[in-house]
């Protein structure tokens, strides 16, 4: 397995890949939970898994479990204690974190009574107890409702703005796209594509997309000839043109014929597209 990833400090990095691609293994290796069969790894010039390294990282696992007989304060106190924190400094930090994740009012509730959202929040809080430079988050938005997902994304951006490096692992590409600065796509243990979001999504492809509805007297044949691609879904027709002029011309024609322009704009690729391409390419090798 040849895995080389470049992560810039103070950014949000996303590691994506289908199930079985080696995401979890990579993450566990980086966290020092499992040991490589060969070779070594360093982060911050520190060996992976060493206590000094662990002092500088935080980790929110997927679907986290905690000692369920504790409440939020006790739980964070336990984790803080593992860093040697104690006394007033620890309690201050706990308060700060609970406010940050919005759990301060519910701090007396025992973990066994938490909802999924609350578990994620407290999970993030424990990941940040030591004010880490590098935070690993595994599927942080999975299982959350939309408002909670937004909240989580906002928190991650906040962390980035504080100068921390956020390492995300997810398969929810729609969530990753808006916040990640760079991404690596993993398939079968190999990095297929890597780079900043802008690079990967390729800017403007030059193509234009036109989506219309209605319109009588339209010659579908002529439209099909002029466009790169034509799809009919019920009342709607979606077309792809090679350039802006062709698209405008077609739009004018349809409008003159009584049709409605639903959408006209430059075609950009989504992360999903890049992902599918990369994984498919990987399959061919």
Partner 1 sequence: MQAIYRVAVATFHEAWRRRFLNAILVFAVLIIGSSWTLTYLQPGAELKLLIDIGLGSIRFFGMLIAVFLGVRLISDEIEKRTIHTILTKPVTRAQFLLGKFFGSLATVLSNIALMGIAFYVVFAYKGSKFMAQGSSEASASGTPGISTDFIYANIAKAIGLSFVEMTVLTAVSVMASTLFSWIIAAIFSFFVYFVGQAADFFKSLANPARGTGFGGQLVFNFIYGIIPHFEVFDMREAIIKGTYVGWDTLGMHVGLGLVYATLIMLVAFLAFMNREV
Partner 2 sequence: MKKQRGLQVIGWLVVVMLVVGLQPLSNAVNYRRLVLGMKSPTPLTKMVDFDPTAVTGVIMGAALGGFQGVAASMLWMKMEELWDSGKGTWLECLNVMRTVTLLDPHWLEPWRITGWHLAYNLYVETKDPKLQAIYLAKGLDALKEGISWNPNTHELYLELAWTYFDRVRDYENATKWFRATLQFPHPEFVERMIAHAYERLPDLDRALDWYDYCLKRNPEDGTAKGATTTIRLRYLPAWRLMQAGKYDEAIRAIDRYLEVEPNGTIALHVKAHIYEQAGREREALDVWRLAARLSALDHQARRKANELAAKLGVTLLPSEQAPSYFLEQMEQPRRLEVPRRRER
Footprint on this chain of partner 1 (rule: CB under 8 A)? 31-35, 51-52, 54-55, 57-59, 61, 63-67, 69, 78-79, 81-84, 123, 126, 130, 136
What is the DSSP secondary-structure string of 193-240? EEEEHHHHHTS--S-EEEEEEE-SS--HHHHHHHSSEEEEETTEEEEE
Residue 58 contacts residue 132 (beta carbons within 8 Å): yes
CB of 54 to partner 1, least distance (A): 4
The distance of closest approach from Cβ of residue 37 to partner 2 in the complex, given in angstroms and rounded to an integer, is 9
DSSP at 47: E
By a kind-dependent CB cut-off of 5 to 8 A, residue 66 interacts, out of partner 1, partner 2, none, with partner 1
> Contact 207/258 with Cβ under 8 angstroms?
no
Asked if 51 touches partner 2 (CB under 8 A), the answer is no
CB atoms within 10 A of CB 100: 16
Q: Which does 54 bind (CB under 5 to 8 A by kind): partner 2, partner 1, none?
A: partner 1
> What end-to-end distance do the CA atoms of the chain give, in Å?
15
Per-position x/- string for 31-50, each x denoting binding to partner 2 as judged by CB under 8 A, each - no binding: ----xx---x----------
Residue 36 touches which of partner 2, partner 1, none (Cβ within 5-8 Å per kind): partner 2
Q: For residues 168-205, b (16+ Cβ closer than 10 Å) or e, as one string?
A: bbbeebebbbebbbbbbbbbebebbbbeebeebbeeee
Residue length of the chain:
285
Count of other CB atoms within 10 angstroms of residue 76: 26
Least distance from partner 1 to the Cβ atom of residue 182, Å:
23
Of 40 and 161, CB closest to partner 2: 40
Q: In the bound complex, what is the minimum distance in angstroms from residue 81's beta carbon to partner 1?
A: 4
Pick 89 or 242: Cβ nearer partner 1:
89
Q: Which two tokens stand for residue 237?
A: 């027709």
Spatial separation of the C-alpha atoms in residues 283 and 285, rounded to whole Å: 6
Nearest approach, Cβ of residue 109 and partner 1 (Å): 16
Query: Which of 34/261 has CB closer to partner 1?
Result: 34
Number of residues that bind partner 2 (CB under 8 A): 3
Residues that bind partner 2 (CB under 8 A): 35-36, 40
């Amino acid at each position: 397995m040849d895995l080389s990833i470049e992560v810039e400090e103070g950014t949000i990095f996303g590691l994506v890949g289908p199930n079985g691609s080696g995401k979890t293994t990579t993450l566990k290796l980086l966290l020092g939970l499992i040991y490589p069969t060969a070779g070594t790894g360093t982060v911050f010039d520190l060996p992976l898994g060493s206590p000094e390294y662990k002092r500088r990282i935080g980790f929110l696992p997927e679907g986290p479990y905690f000692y369920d007989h504790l409440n939020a304060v006790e739980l964070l106190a336990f984790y803080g204690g593992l860093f040697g924190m104690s006394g007033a400094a620890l309690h201050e930090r706990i308060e700060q974190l609970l406010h940050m994740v919005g759990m301060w009012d519910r701090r007396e509730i025992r973990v066994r009574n938490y909802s999924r959202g609350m578990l994620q929040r407290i999970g993030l809080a424990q990941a940040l107890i030591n004010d880490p430079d590098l935070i690993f988050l595994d599927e942080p938005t999975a299982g959350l409702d939309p408002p909670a997902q937004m909240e989580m994304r906002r928190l991650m951006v906040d962390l980035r703005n504080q100068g921390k490096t956020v390492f995300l692992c997810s398969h929810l590409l729609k969530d990753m796209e808006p916040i990640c600065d760079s991404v690596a796509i993993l398939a079968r243990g190999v990095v297929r594509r890597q780079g900043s979001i802008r690079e990967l999504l390729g800017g403007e492809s030059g193509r234009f997309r036109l989506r219309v509805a209605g319109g009588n007297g339209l010659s579908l044949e002529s439209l099909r000839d002029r466009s790169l691609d034509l799809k009919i879904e019920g009342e709607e027709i979606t077309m792809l043109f090679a350039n802006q002029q062709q698209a405008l011309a077609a739009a004018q024609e349809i409008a003159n014929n009584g049709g409605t322009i639903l959408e006209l704009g430059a075609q950009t690729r989504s992360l999903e597209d890049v992902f599918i391409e990369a994984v498919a390419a990987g399959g061919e090798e």
